[in-house]
Amino acid sequence: MPCPPFKEWSCKLPELPEVETIRRELEPLIRGKTFAEPTLHMPSTIAYPSPEEFTAGLEGRTVKALARRGKYLFIDLDLGILTVHLRMTGNLLFSETGMPGENRFLRVTLPFIDGTALHYSDMRRFGRLWLTADQQELEQVVLKKVGPDILNDVSLAEFLELLGKRQKAKLKALLLDQNFVAGMGNIYTDECLYRCGLHPERAAGTLDRDKGEELYQAIQDVLADGIKYGGTTFRDYRNASGALGEFQEKLGVYGRKDDLCSCGTPIEKKVVAGRGTYYCPNCQK
């Protein structure tokens, strides 16, 4: 039997560019499709409402569009919004035949009435799904502590204003804080601080306006590059039509301890804000 046609987005610690890549690739595959009755292999994957309400509420709903804020993926329905957060090891798989293939960590199956299906699997079990009635409920239930999307919803002026309110915060901790701005994770934070020559432990309040602007631009550039190259952390696709994320080949510091920076200094690694952080001690002040 030939291998069934799959498209699988398998990432480790997805950040904004990985979720945006999934959004762009998944949307044309499921737009206009209507959900049949879901199967919850692990009901605790459903964060809201109850598993029973989730199942009853999703069946019969049609996909209108896919949206994103930070690392949250939204599937807008004709009635309600299905939200997915992949957390550490969450994995989405679209299957033309409806079958998930060999999948040890299958948590939720979301079939469509045309026989295709979307499968959610998760080795570490931290990822969650929510079904909310409308935008207002989504904001209250899911996004209460999630800041604006750093790529789409924060202007330079707004970024500088937000930065000004967090004078004492270390840049690395601040950019990872999804309450401050949403979307940055460990890899893209290290890369953007490297690009604009800022030390990860530097306090936000020590940046003048020009340096704040440089930081903003570096964030926008590094995220745009991440999306352009299809993300960093995708491990594999099962479909030949899916290209492996290529951004890992473009990384300046992340994962490159002891490699030489272009200035000739070995890249260092230390723990900042609880996360392994890569930087050039010569270029980043």
Which residues of this chain interact with Zn ion, rule CB under 5 A? 261, 263, 265, 280, 282-283
Picking from 263, 265, 267, 285, the residue whose alpha carbon sits closest to that of residue 276 is 267
Quote the longest CA-to-CA distance of the chain.
Answer: 63
- Strand pairing category for 268-272 and 63-69: unpaired
Q: Which is nearer to Zn ion, 167 or 265 (CB)?
A: 265
Q: Where are the alpha helices (DSSP H) in 31-141?
A: 51-58, 135-141
Which residue has the CB atom at the shortest distance from Zn ion?
A: 261
Active site residue 25: no
Q: At closest approach, how far in Å is the CB of 159 from Zn ion?
A: 25
DSSP 203: B
Residues 214, 232: Cα–Cα separation, whole Å: 23
Q: Provide, rounded to whole angstroms, the least separation between the CB of residue 266 and Zn ion.
A: 9
Q: Is 49 a catalytic residue?
A: no
Given the complex with Zn ion, which of 84 and 283 has the nearer CB atom? 283
Annotated active-site residue 275? The verdict is yes
Catalytic residue among 12, 211, 269, 275: 275
- In angstroms, what is the minimal distance from the CB of 131 to Zn ion? 48
Q: Is 209 a residue of the active site? A: no
Q: Kindly tell me which of 50 and 265 has the beta carbon lying closer to Zn ion.
A: 265
Shortest Cβ 260–Zn ion spacing (Å)? 8
Which of 219/280 has CB closer to Zn ion? 280
Per-residue buried b or exposed e for 45-84, using 16+ beta carbons within 10 Å of the residue's own CB? bbebbeeeebbebbeebbbeebbbbbbbbbbbbeebbbbb
Catalytic residue among 7, 8, 15, 33: 15
Which residues are part of the catalytic machinery?
Answer: 14-15, 71, 275
